[in-house]
């Protein structure tokens, strides 16, 4: 093994010895060396979402974080190439914010069930039905949907974004559960309108949030029964959820926050056990960073889209320039306004 790979291998071993077979660490450290050389050669930066698998997460990203964090990093980098270890809507957001850079997504089909749930025409139809009502769009959407929106939000700032508008009513798209959770926190209530030509206009008199029936295929799988069963066995467990979980699950938990916020919670809390209800590679990554804490595992749901990003295809993305993410300029300019407005409010 060359000395650089040996160093990387030793470093990964300190975090991952209990989680990943030694032979995998050994093999992947050699790929990491190739990626680091290509990164230098291409003047590239690698951004890694918190859901990346442990070996990738602990080896090649220059910056790791949640969607909001990575958007900020993408906006401010001066590197020529951004390799996004995440899913397509995240890579598109990087391109929207930094159009002069080449943005690469190592797996062209790494999508998201939320982003697939709504089209730009759906948003236009909602705007026709509720003229003048501001549109808040979760960043887990494609660029053409963002372009129809007044402001974006992430799981980390959704409440602050809604409150920043100072209006009685908002259109909040497309995650029905995030909408339900924001409604619970802000004291609003949410309706899900039908848009067919025959549908009657809804009165806005008591409507405070207009939602959409999108959901995350991963967070949809967690149930109140999961939490009840764990609490029965471990009464002093701290249960953490992502706000893409159904509102009744979030209500039954002790804490809900973005992926970064949950990582911070585990670091700072002295709870004797933790149950983190989000996708399972992040559970592994938190366990690796906190060997002294007891993370109970309910590892049944891996995001199939995040799972498409591998060390091998990151290397190939830098070698063969794939897959280049482009956003038509007229859409990008309008989407930029919504994303930038969000970033400015924090």
Binding site for ligand SF4 (CB under 6 A): 87, 112-114, 140, 216-218, 244, 279, 303, 305-306
**Residue 201 Cβ vs ligand SF4, minimum distance, rounded to whole Å:** 31
**Residue 114 Cβ vs ligand SF4, minimum distance, rounded to whole Å:** 5
3-state helix, strand, coil in the chain (%, to 5): 50, 15, 40
Q: Which is nearer to ligand 13P, 28 or 73 (CB)?
A: 73
The alpha-carbon radius of gyration of the chain (Å, integer) is 21
Residues of span 31-70 touching ligand 13P by CB under 6 A: 50, 66-67
Smallest CA-to-CA distance from 86 within 318, 317, 309, 314 is with 309
Per rule CB under 6 A, is residue 259 in the interface with ligand 13P?
yes
Reduce the DSSP state of residue 302 to 3 states and report it.
coil
Instruction: Read off the tokens for 156.
Output: 């980390």
Per rule CB under 6 A, is residue 244 in the interface with ligand 13P?
yes
305 binds, among ligand SF4, ligand 13P, none (CB under 5 to 8 A by kind): ligand SF4
Distance of CA 267 to the CA centre of its chain: 20
Stretch that binds ligand 13P, among 16-24, 148-156, 177-185, 311-319 (CB under 6 A): 148-156
Q: Which is nearer to ligand SF4, 140 or 317 (CB)?
A: 140
Q: Which is nearer to ligand 13P, 29 or 155 (CB)?
A: 155
Q: Which is nearer to ligand 13P, 216 or 288 (CB)?
A: 216
258 binds, among ligand 13P, ligand SF4, none (CB under 5 to 8 A by kind): ligand 13P
Strand partners, 141: none
Query: Which residue pairs, CB below 8 angstroms and at least 24 apart, start in 20-29?
Result: 20/54, 20/55, 24/55, 25/55, 26/1, 28/55, 28/56, 28/59, 28/311, 29/1, 29/5, 29/59
Per rule CB under 6 A, is residue 141 in the interface with ligand 13P?
no
Q: Which is nearer to ligand 13P, 42 or 88 (CB)?
A: 88
Per rule CB under 6 A, is residue 258 in the interface with ligand 13P?
yes
Smallest CA-to-CA distance from 186 within 203, 214, 213, 166 is with 166
Residues of span 179-238 touching ligand 13P by CB under 6 A: 216
Smallest CA-to-CA distance from 120 within 146, 152, 95 is with 146
Q: What CA–CA distances, in Å, run from 321 to 38, 85, 120, 325?
A: 11, 14, 29, 10
Helix (H), strand (E) at residue 276: strand 273-277
Stretch that binds ligand 13P, among 153-161, 201-209, 289-297, 330-338 (CB under 6 A): 153-161
Q: How many residues bind ligand 13P (CB under 6 A)?
A: 12
**Residue 11 Cβ vs ligand 13P, minimum distance, rounded to whole Å:** 24
Reduce the DSSP state of residue 165 to 3 states and report it.
coil
Contacting positions for ligand 13P (CB under 6 A) = 50, 66-67, 140, 154-156, 216, 242, 244, 258-259
């Amino acid at each position: 093994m060359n000395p650089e790979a040996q160093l990387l291998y030793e470093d990964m071993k300190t975090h991952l010895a209990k989680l990943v077979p030694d032979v995998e660490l050994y093999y992947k450290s050699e790929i990491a060396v190739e990626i680091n050389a290509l990164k230098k050669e291409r003047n590239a930066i690698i951004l890694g979402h918190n859901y990346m698998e442990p070996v990738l997460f602990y080896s090649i990203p220059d910056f790791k974080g949640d969607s909001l964090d990575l958007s900020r990093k993408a906006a401010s980098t001066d590197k020529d190439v951004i390799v996004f270890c995440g899913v397509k809507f995240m890579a598109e957001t990087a391109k929207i914010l930094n159009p002069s850079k080449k943005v690469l997504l190592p797996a062209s089909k790494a999508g998201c069930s939320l982003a697939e749930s709504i089209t730009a025409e759906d948003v236009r139809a909602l705007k026709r039905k509720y003229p003048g009502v501001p549109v808040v769009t979760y960043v887990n959407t494609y660029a053409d949907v963002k372009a129809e929106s007044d402001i974006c939000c992430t799981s980390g700032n959704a409440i602050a974004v809604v409150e920043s508008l100072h209006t009685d009513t908002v259109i909040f798209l497309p995650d029905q559960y995030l909408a339900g959770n924001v409604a619970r926190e802000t004291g609003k209530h949410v309706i899900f309108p039908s848009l067919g030509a025959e549908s009657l206009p809804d009165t806005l008199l008591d409507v405070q949030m207009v939602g959409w029936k999108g959901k995350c295929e991963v967070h949809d799988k967690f149930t109140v029964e999961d939490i009840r069963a764990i609490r029965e066995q471990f009464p002093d467990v701290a249960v953490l959820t992502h706000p893409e979980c159904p509102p009744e699950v979030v209500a039954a938990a002790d804490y809900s926050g973005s992926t970064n916020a949950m990582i911070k919670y585990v670091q700072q809390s002295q709870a004797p056990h933790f149950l983190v209800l989000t996708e399972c590679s992040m559970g592994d990554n938190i366990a690796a960073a906190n060997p002294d804490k007891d993370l109970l595992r309910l590892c049944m749901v891996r995001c199939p889209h995040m799972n498409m990003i591998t060390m091998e295809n990151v290397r190939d993305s830098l070698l063969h320039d794939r897959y280049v993410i482009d956003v038509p300029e007229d859409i990008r300019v309008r989407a930029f306004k919504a994303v930038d407005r969000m970033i400015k409010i924090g």
